[in-house]
Amino acid sequence: MAVAFGHFLVARNSVLEAAGDQGLAPYLKMYDDAGAIGPRPFHTKLAEAQNAVDETLQAYLLGQTTLEEAMINGKALIEALGPRE
């Protein structure tokens, strides 16, 4: 799959090894080797955090809030969930 989908890779050792030097793999490996790629800081309440983002974005996209209001509301909803830990 890594070879077939060389344009859509993740920086896992097994994937990069399978892809070899095809497509974006050598460049992704270069970034990985340099320590530029790391784990994303997911919220411990991932589902609730995603709901807060979805709710806020939907309100903005439907014209129910301005972008500024959406940013304020979204930040408040995420902060209400507590620390990410």
Please report the pLDDT score of residue 1 as a whole number: 53
Answering whether pTM is above 0.85, one says: no
> What's the CA gap between 51 and 75, in Å, rounded?
13
Q: Where are the domains of the chain?
A: 1-38, 46-80
Each residue's pLDDT tens digit, 20-76: 888 788 888 888 889 888 777 777 898 999 999 999 999 999 999 999 999 999 999
State the alpha helices, DSSP H only, in the chain.
13-19, 25-33, 46-61, 67-80
Cβ 43 vs Cβ 27: under 8 Å:
no
- What is the identity of the amino acid at 74? G
What is the predicted pLDDT for the residue at 22?
80
Q: Which residue from 69, 42, 74 is spatially nearest to 55, judged by alpha carbons?
A: 74
Give me 61's structure tokens.
């996209």
